[in-house]
Amino acid sequence: MTIAIRDATTADAAAVARIHVTAWQHAYAGLIHRPVLDALDVADRTAGWTRWLERSLAGEGTDGDVRHAMVVAERDGEVMGWATFGPARLPEREGWGELAGCYVDPRATRSGIGRAMVAEVEARLTAAGFERAYLWVLEGNVPAEQAYSRYGWEPDGATLDDPDTDPTRVLVDHARVRILAER
């Protein structure tokens, strides 16, 4: 089994969308209302990720004015994970890097793909001059909390309410942070 991390291209949008949908349905079962997860559509996500990748690759903002990049992880030539990253989107974290999204195909969990992607993102954020980074984990997502803890990302106590994803309740994300480089 060979894992390769590379920059994503627009040709990866369908694989990214497939992983996005299946990873959410797997990881967030019991955390997000089942009809919300069942309504996720790979075709819609493919169109959205295509637009996102086109903007990112053109150097444009992917979230307002903030431009994030994406890497994908291939195992034996098949895209099995992706991660998005770049400068902080939140003004209170200005000057920080952000690991905005990191998902692995459920068929490949605990295979080293997540660890490899996170290490690549950390290296790229460090090379871009960021000394620290943050990410968000959905409250109750114990496997993700454990994984990020193993990777050296520590909770910092910050929370972020998400009232939009699940119409039945407000979801809460918890921040985890990582020191990338010491001065």
Place of tokens 């490899």: 116
Identify the DSSP state of 164.
S
Q: Name the token pair of 70.
A: 């994406």
Condensed to tens digits (0 to 9), the pLDDT of residues 67-86 reads: 999 999 999 999 999 999 99
- pLDDT at site 17: 98
Q: What's the rounded Cα separation, in Å, for the pair 152 and 95?
A: 20
Kindly state which CATH superfamily the domain 3-179 is placed in: Gcn5-related N-acetyltransferase (GNAT) (3.40.630.30)
Q: Name the token pair of 97.
A: 């890097």
Burial of 3 (0-12, 13-18, 19+ CB in 10 A): middle
- pLDDT at site 110: 84
* Number of CB atoms found within 10 A of residue 127's CB: 10
- pLDDT at site 149: 96
Domain ranges of the chain: 3-179
Condensed to tens digits (0 to 9), the pLDDT of residues 11-29 reads: 999 999 999 999 999 999 9
